[in-house]
C-alpha cells in the first residue's frame, strides 16, 4: 500500500474492504489516537481496547465518511466518542469496594510506596495547573485550541492542520504566538 495516499483516499479503500488501507491508516494514526483515548479514560488497558474498537468502527463505517472535513478529525471524533461512552458506562455502573476492617485499611496504606509525593508537592502541582489553566483561558481561541491539540492530545502540527482544516503554516504561527502569549501571561500571574 502506498504510504503517501491521503487519509480520505484510504477511507475510500477501507469502505471497499481493503485491509492494507486500514493497516496504513492504523500505522499513521494509532499512536495519537491511543494517546487521545488514554488521556480521556486514564487507563492504558481500556485505551488499548478502545483503540481496537475505534479502528473496527472505521472498518465498518468508512463508507459513511462524508468527505466534509479531514479524515483524521473524523477518526479522532470516533475515538473521543468511544472514550466518553466508556466514561458514561463506568459512571452508570460504578465499582464499589467492599467494606473492610481497619486492619485491611492499615495494610493498604502500608502497601503504598514510600516515595509517594508529599501533600505539599501535590498541592503545589495543583496550584501550577490552575495557573496554567488561567493563562490558557486568556489566549485567543484558535491559538489555545492548537496548543491543546499539540500538548494535551499529542498531535503533530500536520495532524492539527488536518483536524482544524487550516494550512500548516497557520498552525505553526498559532502555536508560536500562543506559546509567546502564554509565557507572558504566565509570568504576570506570578
Which of 161, 189, 186 has its CA nearest to residue 175? 161
Report whether 155 contacts 34 (CB < 8 A): no
Map out the domains of the chain with their CATH numbers: 7-92 (1.10.1740.10), 125-188 (1.10.10.10)
Residues 40-50: pLDDT tens digits? 888 889 999 99
CA distance 41 to 88: 10
Residues 121-144: pLDDT tens digits? 555 555 666 677 777 788 898 998
Report whether 22 contacts 9 (CB < 8 A): no
More reliable by pLDDT, 104 or 142: 142
Q: What is the pTM of this model?
A: 0.51
Q: b/e string for 153-180 if b means 16 or more Cβ within 10 A? A: bbbebebbbbbbeeeeeebeebbebbbe
Report whether 150 contacts 157 (CB < 8 A): yes
Tell me the pLDDT of the chain averaged across its residues: 79
pLDDT grade for 108, boundaries at 50, 70 and 90 = very low
Which of 50, 32, 39, 41 has its CA nearest to residue 160? 32
pLDDT for 87 equals 84
- Cell reading at 36: 487521545
CA distance 171 to 187: 24
Amino acid at each position: 500500500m502506498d504510504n503517501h495516499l491521503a487519509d480520505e483516499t484510504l477511507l475510500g479503500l477501507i469502505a471497499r474492504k481493503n485491509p492494507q488501507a486500514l493497516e496504513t491508516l492504523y500505522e499513521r494514526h494509532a499512536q495519537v489516537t491511543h494517546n487521545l483515548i488514554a488521556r480521556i479514560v486514564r487507563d492504558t488497558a481500556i485505551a488499548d481496547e478502545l483503540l481496537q474498537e475505534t479502528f473496527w468502527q472505521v472498518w465498518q463505517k468508512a463508507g459513511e465518511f462524508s468527505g466534509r472535513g479531514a479524515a483524521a478529525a473524523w477518526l479522532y471524533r470516533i475515538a473521543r466518542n468511544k472514550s466518553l461512552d466508556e466514561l458514561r458506562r463506568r459512571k452508570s455502573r460504578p465499582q464499589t469496594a467492599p467494606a473492610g476492617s481497619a486492619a485491611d485499611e492499615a495494610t493498604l496504606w502500608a502497601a503504598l510506596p514510600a516515595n509517594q509525593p508529599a501533600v505539599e508537592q501535590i498541592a503545589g502541582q495543583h496550584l501550577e495547573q490552575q495557573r496554567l489553566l488561567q493563562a490558557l483561558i486568556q489566549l485567543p481561541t484558535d491559538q489555545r485550541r492548537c496548543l491543546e491539540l499539540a500538548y494535551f492530545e499529542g498531535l503533530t502540527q500536520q495532524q492539527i492542520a488536518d483536524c482544524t482544516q487550516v494550512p500548516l503554516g497557520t498552525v505553526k504561527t498559532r502555536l508560536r504566538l500562543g506559546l509567546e502569549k502564554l509565557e507572558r501571561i504566565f509570568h504576570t500571574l506570578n
